[in-house]
Amino acid sequence: MRKIFGCALGGLLLVAAPVFAHHSAVMFDDQKEITVTGVVKEFQYTNPHSWLLVDVKNDDGTVTTWGFEAEGPSTLTRAGIRRSDLMPGTGITITGHPMRDGRPAASWVKAKRADGKDLDPRNGFAIK
Amino acid sequence: MFNSNNATRAAGVAILAGTLVIGAGASAQPKPAPPPSAEKQRMIDLGIAHKTAAGLYQYLKEQAHGGQPLNWRSVPDWTGVWTREASPFFWDPDQGDPNALPTAKLTPPYQKQLLEKLDRVNRGIEFDPLSNCEPAGMPRWMVEPFLREWVVTPTQTYLINEMQNEMRRVYTDGRDHPSKDDAYPLWEGDSIGFWDGDKLVIHTSQMRAGQYQRIQPGYSEQVETVEVWHKTEASTMTVDVWSFDPPALVEPWYAKQVYKKLTNDDRSLRIRYWDCGENQNNTVVKTGEGTSDFKNFTFTKKDDK
C-alpha cells in the first residue's frame, strides 16, 4: 500500500475542477493530488455524489479509510464505471484532489484497478 | 498569473470534459464579455423590440397565426436521453472563457452583486444553495449538466432534468397563466406554450429568485423567459431563450442553448429518482466564513487527519 502526495498542476493558476452536482469544490485543494493504493471497502453509488471508500494500509500497519467523491450514478455510467466494477475487496490505485483540512477524503480524478482497467469519472461528461 | 492561451486551452477542456475552469487567484478584473455575432444581435434586438416576455411571446404567436395544436399523429419524436452540450457554468455558451464576464447586460445592483460573488469565488469562498438540497429551478434548470428527457403529448410537454427530479410542465392546450393575484413564485415557474410547426414556443413566469449558475448573475422574482425549442438535427435540440428581468437586466438576455441526444446503444442510461439526502457523506454546510464544507463523514471523524 502506498500514498503519494504531489503538486497537481505544476504551479498553474488556472485549474480544472470537476462539476459538482450540488456543492462547490472549494473544500478540495485542486493544486494538489494524492494517490493511494488499497482495496475497495464500499462503493456508495448514490446521488448527488458517489463515494468510493478505499482502505489503505499505513506504514505503521494501521488502516485508514479514504473517501473519494465523484458524480452520481448516471454520470459514472456515462464514464463506463458501474457499481459492479468496484466490489468490496477490489484492488485499486486512485488519485484525487485532497481535502484542504487534512481529512482522508478527496475528489476522485482517476483510478486504475489492480487488473489494469482505468476508471476516470470525468469522462462522464463527454458527449457521445 | 496566467495568459490568454492558457485560458483558451483550459476553456476548451472545460467544454469537452464538462469541467469548470476557475482562476485560483485569477485576475481581479474579469475580461469583458465577447461581443455578439450579427445573427445573435438580431435575436437580442427581437427581445428588445418587444420589451416584455409576454410581448415577445404574443408576437411569436401572431407570427405563427396562433400556432397549430398537436394530435397524436403529429407529435414530434423527441425521445431519447439528452444532455446540455456546453460547459454547465456558463448560462450563455458564447461566454467561452471563464475569466470573461457573462454576456448579460446587468443593472448596477446586479453587476455589483456579480462582481462581489466572483471576487469571493476567486478567494475560495463559495456556497451554492443547491447544497441545501434545493432544486436548481428555472431558469438555472436549463444549464445543469445531467440527463434529460423530453416527453411530448398533444396538450402538455414535460421537460425533465434528472437532477433533483426537476420536471417542467408546459401546457399547450391553450390555457393562459394564472391571474396576477393567483400567481406566486414557483421553482420551475408556470409555463404555457404553443406549437409553430415543429417548434415549441414557451412563456414561463412565476419563478423564484436565484442565480443562473455559480459564477453567473442572479435573477429576481420578476424574471420571465421565452423559449423556442427546435429539434434541428436527429441528435440536436436547439433552444433560443430570452430572459426578461427588469430589476437585474437592462435588456433581455438572449442565449442559444444546445442539448445533445446521447447514443445509449446499450440502454444503460436510465433516469432514476434523485434523493439528495440519501448519503450522509454528501451533507455540505455553510461555514462561518460563508464557504462550503462537508459536515461529517461516515468513514472518518472530523479531527482525523
**ipTM of model:** 0.88
Q: How far is A74 from chain B (nearest CA, A)?
A: 6
Which residues does residue B166 pair with via DSSP β-bridges, in sequence order?
A: B161
Q: Domain map of chain B by residue range?
A: 4-279
For residues B228 and B196, give the distance between their C-alpha atoms in angstroms, rounded to a whole number: 9
CATH domain B4-279 topology:
Lipocalin (2.40.128)
> At the fourth CATH level, which superfamily is domain A3-10+17-125?
Nucleic acid-binding proteins (2.40.50.140)
- Backbone torsions φ then ψ of B93, nearest 5 degrees: -55, -25
DSSP B189: -
Q: Which of B106, B95, B19 is nearest to B115 (CA)?
A: B106
**pLDDT at B56 > cutoff 90:** yes
DSSP B178: P
Residues of chain B neighbouring A125 (CB-CB closer than 8 A): 17-19, 145
Q: Number of H helices and number of E strands within chain A? A: 1, 7
Angle between the N-to-C axes of helices B38-50 and B53-63, in degrees from 0 to 180, rounded to the nearest 10: 110
CB B240 within 8 Å of CB B94 = no
Whether omega for the bond prior to residue A48 falls within 30 degrees of 0, making it cis, is: yes
For residues B296 and B169, give the distance between their C-alpha atoms in angstroms, rounded to a whole number: 37
pTM reported for the whole predicted model: 0.90
More confident residue, B7 or B300: B300
Kindly report the number of other CB atoms within 10 A of residue B303's CB atom: 8
Put simply, whether A31 touches B (Cβ < 8 Å) is: yes
Residues A50-95 have pLDDT tens digits of 999 999 999 999 999 999 999 999 999 999 999 999 999 999 999 9
Cβ distance of A46 and B14 shorter than 8 Å: no
For residues A81 and B249, give the distance between their C-alpha atoms in angstroms, rounded to a whole number: 42
Hey, what's the cell of A71? Answer: 458524480
Q: How far is A115 from chain B (nearest CA, A)?
A: 23
Task: Provide the pLDDT confidence category of residue A5 given band limits of 50, 70 and 90.
Answer: low
For residues A68 and A92, give the distance between their C-alpha atoms in angstroms, rounded to a whole number: 12
**pLDDT at B66 > cutoff 90:** yes
Hey, what's the cell of B213? Answer: 449558475
